[in-house]
Chains A and B, each alone.
Chain A
Amino acid sequence: MPTKIEIDPLTRIEGHLAIKLEIESGQVAKAYCSGEMFRGFENILRGRSPMDAQQITQRICGVCPISHGMASLKAQEQAYNLTLTDNGRLTRNLILGANYIQSHLVHFYHLSALDFVDITAILNYGGSDATLKGLQAWVKAQLDSQTMFPAAPFLPRYNGDYLPNLDANIGAIKDYVDALEMRAVAQEALALFGAKAPHATALIPGGITEKVTAKKIAAYGSILSRLRSFIDRIYIPDVVAVASAFPAYFKVGRGCGNFLAYGVFDQDNGGHLLPAGRIKQGALSSTDPAQISEDTSHAFFSSQSGLHPYQGQTEPSPHKPGAYSWLKAPRYEGQPYEVGPLARMLVAHQKGHAQAKPMIDKLLGDLGLEATALDSVMGRHAARALECKLVADACAQWLDKLQPGQPTFTDFEIPASGKGAGLTEAPRGALGHWIEIADHKIKNYQCVVPTTWNGSPRDSNGVPGPMEQALEGTPVVDSNNPLEAARVVRSFDPCLACAVH
């Protein structure tokens, strides 16, 4: 008989997620991922002005609002037949780029690191760094106090095989604190062109409302140089250090073997910085959005299963028999696909991307790994870190191309009817918004979001979603402390508010 355990709630992700596991012979035999929160954005958008959408959909997620804004704008701009000015395209890349950097830093340091780093190591710190000494005093005072949960929110935690090395732990704790500051300044850079973060109001069909000035270019550049330095000198080395300390996690968390990317960051040649593509069991091919559908057989929706997003429906049915998640199950040609930085980096690598390929090859060489090892927990962390550098480096080039005084906005009219698909990439993976306009209003709006792909429940063929498949085979040493399974789930950087919306 398998042992049934639950990780409910799975914290340090965005949103409400429950994981149910069946453990046999010390490893996960079956896994079920349940999205636990539903708001009904697609229902709320119906009947509204189309231009409400890039603001409302940003509120799907406070961690990656810009990606939803971009997907909505792309869908609308297709429907309005609009092209951007160079300044409009570049400032949007800079806004999105800053959001990527913020999101990737938060994911590694503030969401994932506590699965690997031993926070209690601070008690043995003997150095003189003011921040660390302050933290040490705080943890000591907390542990000495009568408080029920001392050093919350950093304790309590699962017992497990945390980093044993004192210096490595101390370094990581310092970087956790510094990364808090770095993610905040990334948001500051975003706001220079986006007005505010999260939820940027400067995003508008036809470009952005903000203007380009020399001062803004200099301010963004100043922040970007701090961020690039942190990524190069701290973030990537920290990921490599954790990867080196936990080499087994290049073998744990292998997903469904299919990867999908829509492409993101529009370049002046009409292409993308991070290319579109699809890898099916190792073979690279192209992406055709017509092949996307959403299965609802195990989701809390009475809506018809297998519809393309243009026809998609979202009718809740919270007591539906056999359903166990608020996530629909997106499928491409009926198959589950993993999306995210790993998918993007694998597609870029296979396409021989000028920056991505040498970066990935060097990392694999340094760690003595084959490319197949990337389909794993550590592979996902490594791909995210390398992508963060790639995006930050590209931001510097986009910034150089901005022209002060030139327009960032192209005017337009909203047609009485139209359709548009906005395909882009959020930090967590392939993101699509589909809009249908009738009588100047939104007739239908559907979002298929990265974690909808990765965290999807089983489909009508009983095929588990990518995260569920990645959990299968994961060793769990202590079923009261299923830290290994939590590490697998967090490697996907799940965002549940996004996934269900």
Chain B
Amino acid sequence: MFKFNRRQFLKMGASLAAAMGLEPASVPRIVEALSELSSGQAPVLWLQGQSCSGCSVSLLNTENPSPSEVLTQYISLLFHSTLSAATGHTAMEVVEKSIEAGGYYLAVEGALPAGMPQACVMGHKPVTELVARAARKAKAVICVGTCAAYGGIPAAENNPTGSVSVAEFLKKEGNTAPIIRLPGCPSHPDWVVGTLVHVIKFGLPKLDEDGRPEVFYGRFLHDQCPRFADYERENFAQTFSGEGCLFKLGCLGPVTKADCTTRLWNRGANTCIMAGAPCIGCASEIFAKSPSLPFYRKGESK
């Protein structure tokens, strides 16, 4: 682990606190959390179900802390299919021995094919079975992304695999470990890193009825929208790339809880509504669920 002096730790703690929306008074405890993490006491086991790896790609977009800081100072990433040097039987050994030992934080990315377990297999084992076993020994289960949290696209109507969210799957398995949902397609890196640190040091962050941290998911996008004044003045965009509120083009900001309009994506580069793209509700439970709720409203020719 990098050796950090207290000043550097304080600096990191402060940037994390800002990212998590915490009061400055909480900084010393975060500093402690980071020190604890850096001594290897926060093992994270990351499993992928029916995923696109987009939440992993998104996690690597984290800025403060940087991707390499996350990997070497913040978490001890026991296994991650996209990053682990371990491959083949070596990889399965890491996964199995980690599960045997327990005591890790289990992050799951992707939905689970409950109706067709053969549709997601690793080392001859259905991933449904691996996740069920891994969850029993976990301190907490973090459902990273909308697929793990709510089922997302793999569990949408007409899906052929009987796919369900990790949260729903574990509920049926009688899982007792706390479950945190971090929806978003992908999940924002701040939501993942911020939640991990909170869980480890402060325990569970304040969650809503769905298990989402309120600090990130407490308010509707619409209420924090940069185009809210346009909505108030009934100035609606009539075509894509137009000026005004995007509601009439299908924007799902009014039913989606997330802070992306204020947090922004990719190190502050942009966010959907700023770019003229209607919110497609990627962090909501209903994301892509049904053909009867299309992403866009658009005139059809006769």
Contact = CB atoms under 8 A, between A and B. Distances in A.
Answer whether A and B are interacting partners: yes
Interface of A: 6-16, 18, 36-41, 43-44, 46-49, 51-52, 55-56, 59-63, 65, 110-111, 114, 119, 131, 134-135, 137-138, 141-142, 145, 147-149, 152-158, 177, 180-181, 183-185, 187-199, 201-202, 204, 206-211, 219, 300, 314-316, 318-319, 326, 407-409, 411, 413-416, 440-441, 480, 482, 486, 497
A365 to B, nearest CB: 34
A195 B274 contact: yes
A404 to B, nearest CB: 14
A335 B274 CA distance: 47
Given A134-B72, A188-B266, A153 B153 contact: no
Interface in B109-155: 111, 113, 116, 118-124, 127, 152-154
A16 B120 contact: yes
Contacts of A131: 68
Which 5 residue pairs across A and B have the least CB separation, nearest first? Answer: A62-B54, A195-B275, A209-B276, A196-B265, A49-B294
B242 to A, nearest CB: 8
A60 B154 CA distance: 10
A39 B163 CA distance: 8
Contacts of A183: 60
B277 interface: yes
A68 B296 CA distance: 18
Contacts of B87: 7, 9-12, 157-158, 486
Contacts of A194: 270, 275
Given A56-B288, A193-B275, A486-B88, 20 more contacts: A15-B53, A18-B123, A37-B121, A39-B161, A44-B156, A46-B158, A62-B58, A138-B73, A141-B1, A148-B97, A156-B90, A184-B267, A187-B61, A197-B266, A198-B57, A201-B278, A207-B240, A318-B118, A409-B240, A497-B52
Nearest to B156: A44
B267 A62 contact: no
B25 interface: no
Contacts of A147: 40, 76
A316 B185 contact: no
B254 to A, nearest CB: 16
Contacts of A11: 81-82, 84, 86-87, 91
Nearest to A65: B54
A156 B58 contact: no
A135 B86 CA distance: 19
A44 B152 CA distance: 11
Interface in B44-98: 48-58, 60-63, 66-68, 71-73, 76-94, 97-98
B81 A202 contact: no
B174 interface: no
Contacts of B156: 44
A197 B50 CA distance: 20
B185 A59 contact: yes
B239 A411 contact: yes
B277 A9 contact: no
A413 B300 contact: yes
Contacts of B279: 201
Of A13, A41, A52, most buried by chain B (CB within 10 Å of CB) is: A52
B219 to A, nearest CB: 19
Contacts of B63: 184
Contacts of A138: 1-2, 72-73
A191 B86 CA distance: 32
B266 A187 contact: yes
Contact of A134 (B3, B111, B300): B3
Contacts of A48: 291, 294
B86 A62 contact: no
